[in-house]
A and B are shown apart, each in its own frame.
Chain A
Amino acid sequence: MAKYLLLKHYRGAPAAVNDVPMDQWTPDEVSAHVQYMQDFAARLEDTGEFVDGQALSPEGTFVRYDGEGRPPVTDGPFAETKDLIAGWMVIDVETYDRALELAGELSAAPGAGGKPIHEWLEVRPFLGAPPTITE
């Protein structure tokens, strides 16, 4: 088993196919979307593949050490787009292919018009523990 992080971006990824901002959806469409994500997580708990999932606020601040007594804070951005992470889900699956399959499914969450959003999700492997036998 290996753990993967499914990252959902606010911006920074290429636009979704069904790219309508959530505030333009109907309330029912929003509910259907939320329900889909919850059902997805519940189903993965059933299959023994769910590890963690959290949503993140779009508010983020960049901070760094800039010498004593100075407020080293900035809103960014450092590139043309601001790479905001909307939330994540951690899964623990048998294969990389299974991680891709689940990310594809999560990207099919319904959006405006009840049609899948087709948004891009980032799939990142976790670094694991070193195995006992390598040599």
Chain B
Amino acid sequence: MVDEDLLRTLTPTVIGILGRRGASWTAAEDAVQDALVEAVRVWRDAPPRDPKGWLVTVAWRKYLDAVRADTSRRRREVLVDEEPEPGPAEVVDDTLQLYFLCAHPSLTPASAVALTLRAVGGLTTRQIAQAYLVPEATMAQRISRAKRTVSDVRFDQPGNVGTVLRVLYLVFNEGYSGDVDLAAEAIRLTRELAARTDSEEVAGLLALMLLHHARRPARTRPDGGLVPLAEQDRARWDTRLIAEGVDVLQAALARDRLGEFQAQAAIAALHADARTAEETDWVQIVEWYDELVRLTDSPVARLNRAVAVGEADGPRVGLAALADLDPALPRHAAVAAYLHERNGDPVTAARLYAEAARSAPNLPERDHLTRQAARLNAELRSCP
């Protein structure tokens, strides 16, 4: 059996090595894909002792073949290019460069995601297409357009870690369709990034992902229905992942350079820390939301803060916090419905739950909100 995880892990390194030997990004990526195909074919019978060395050799040969197939004039030019850069070898982590290239600001978020999964993650185009529920041909075009967009970007240009984190966060949030678990893949890639960088926010994002992933088994019913946080069976949370997430977060927070992912992870950690929903430390959660609002000024953070305020200081105060926010915000009606119900106004709550259901962005949420409205309406009918 060929170790596909190993192949995936080695992919970005090998692309990086070819890139630094002078291959263009597109050519390097194509050559490595060819080499991976050959690895799957050959390794079953003759696994190499040094898989990385094997891949570099074969990919480089594929690259040279491709170059030689080009016109003779171009060949002469490129052969000069093939010479290794003179001077002392730099200590550069090629994989890290590849992360930055794939999340380059010139790419749209969707292209950056596709390119990262392909080049850094080593997924096949088909796997990525399946995960995003689009035809393989469409995804192939998305990836090749993305490659063209960054083909002129110099490989050694330092990137912005913030854009990389946003891309990984998008991958993590995508849900669970297709034969590749994108959440697990995002965690794997973030782990590797965290091992290569010295950034609190990378650690913050990793902690956030681990803490959310830990609760995943309890978040949905077998039929796909949502289970709200307060009703989740906390025995099903993965305590090992929670412990790891908390450790990663604490190490990051200790460095006293707060960022939005660390703040979000802190909120997730406080939820994970409560043995029952009633034990949740809502006062501290509100404080972290204050930090998050200060850092991001995000309306979504303000909306979530209103929920936390409602728990910490009572629904009336929560509703007051909500009053400052734009009712057009996604999930605004759902939050308002919840706070009105807790404030003892089931009539308004039922109406708002129904309104929230109509504008829900996905089926499980819509079903959940419809059930909430139905529950309240049934109660209202039975005791008029």
CB 8 Å contact bits of A29-50 with B (1 = contact, 0 = none): 0000000000000000111111
CB closest residue in chain A, given B171: A132
Q: CB distance B362 to A94 under 8 Å?
A: no
Q: CB distance B141 to A1 under 8 Å?
A: no
Which range holds the interface residue count of chain B? 35 or more
Given contacts A48-B110, A92-B132, A92-B134, contact A129 B141 (CB under 8 A): no
Say if the beta carbon of B159 comes within 8 Å of chain A: no
**CB-contact partner of A52 in B108, B135, B173, B177, under 8 A:** B135
CB 8 Å contact bits of B79-100 with A (1 = contact, 0 = none): 0000000000000000000000
Given contacts A51-B134, A92-B132, contact A131 B141 (CB under 8 A): no
Within 8 A of A (CB), among B161-178: 172-177
| Interface-facing stretch out of B12-20, B40-48, B53-61, B363-371 | B363-371
CB 8 Å contact bits of B156-198 with A (1 = contact, 0 = none): 0000000000000000111111000001000000000000000
Within 8 A of B (CB), among A69-128: 92, 94, 127-128
Within 8 A of B (CB), among A1-33: 1, 3
Q: CB distance A48 to B141 under 8 Å?
A: yes
Q: CB distance A45 to B365 under 8 Å?
A: no
Q: CB distance A46 to B176 under 8 Å?
A: no
B166 to chain A, nearest CB (A): 13
Given contacts A45-B141, A92-B132, contact A127 B110 (CB under 8 A): no
Say if the beta carbon of B111 comes within 8 Å of chain A: yes
Say if the beta carbon of B137 comes within 8 Å of chain A: yes
Interface core residue of B132, B133, B143, B304 (most chain A CB under 10 Å): B133
Given contacts A127-B361, A127-B363, A127-B366, contact A132 B138 (CB under 8 A): no
Say if the beta carbon of A135 comes within 8 Å of chain B: yes
Q: CB distance A132 to B360 under 8 Å?
A: no
Where the two chains meet, the residues of A that have a C-beta atom closer than 8 Å to any C-beta of B are: 1, 3, 45-52, 92, 94, 127-135
Q: What are the residues of chain B within 8 A of A127 when measuring CB–CB?
A: 360-363, 366
- How long is the Cα–Cα vector from A74 to B174 in the complex, in angstroms? 42
- How long is the Cα–Cα vector from A130 to B334 in the complex, in angstroms? 15
Please list the 6 inter-chain residue pairs (A to B) with the smallest Cβ-Cβ separation, ordered nearest first.
A48-B142, A129-B175, A1-B110, A131-B173, A48-B141, A130-B362
**CB-contact partner of A128 in B137, B142, B213, B361, under 8 A:** B361
CB closest residue in chain A, given B183: A132
Given contacts A94-B109, A135-B229, contact A129 B135 (CB under 8 A): no
Within 8 A of A (CB), among B121-170: 132-135, 137-139, 141-143, 145
Q: What are the residues of chain A within 8 A of B174 when measuring CB–CB?
A: 129, 131-132
Q: What are the residues of chain B within 8 A of A47 when measuring CB–CB?
A: 141-142, 145
Contacts A48-B134, A128-B175 known; list 4 others, CB within 8 Å. Answer: A48-B141, A92-B110, A130-B364, A133-B173
Q: CB distance B212 to A132 under 8 Å?
A: yes
Say if the beta carbon of B32 comes within 8 Å of chain A: no
**CB-contact partner of B304 in A1, A50, A135, under 8 A:** A135
Q: CB distance A94 to B172 under 8 Å?
A: no
Interface core residue of A45, A94, A129 (most chain B CB under 10 Å): A129
